[in-house]
Amino acid sequence: MPQANLKLSLHDQQVLDSIFNPLELSSLQTNNLIPAESDLKDVEPDTQAIKASRELELRGIALSESGQLDEALDLFEQSLNLAQRSSVLNNRAQTLRLAKRDEEALDDLNRALELATDQQTRTKCHAHCQRGVLYRKLDNLEAARADFEAAAQLGSKFAREQLVEINPFAALCNQMLRQAFDQLK
């Protein structure tokens, strides 16, 4: 049986792409509707207090990465005393999660998202992802889904992957469609 050479409209092609590649939002990113995660930035005033806070935050991150959690938490506290910054709260939440202090981490993430401005898309994206992970761990899938959707809209590939994972119907539907189209080939 000869195969028909189908001409699809751009819209139809985008629909098929979204079915077969749910993690790829290339058409939305190409049209600048969703930024690339690597393009996300935090813009803050460049005051002395913020510079000093940022320096303490970076030292806290390094300590956290080396497993010195208590020392890192002390530096994050000092950083917050200099300037209440959403990125410090987000990074302290990560350290609190590592220390298995999830409720405190959740409080910090809520506060980070309250403080984050429209100029702090990187921190917003990361805070939504972290909070989504915590909500997922606490079996609050609706809250997790809302955070992952917010992070995905900001450009997070991780959040898009999480949305597919927590939606078993979408994964099953995509698998069935792939099998059906493979049989047509």
pLDDT band at 18 (very low <50, low <70, confident <90, very high): low
Q: What is the pLDDT of residues 162-177, one digit of tens each?
A: 998 887 666 566 677 7
Domains and CATH numbers, the chain: 45-184 (1.25.40.10)
Bridge partners of 42, per DSSP, are 120
**Residues whose CB is less than 8 angstroms from the CB of residue 184 and which lie 6 or more positions away in sequence, other chains included:** none
Q: What is the pLDDT of residues 123-144, one digit of tens each?
A: 999 999 999 999 999 999 999 9
Q: What is the pLDDT of residues 42-75, one digit of tens each?
A: 778 889 999 999 999 999 999 999 999 999 999 9
The reported pTM is 0.73
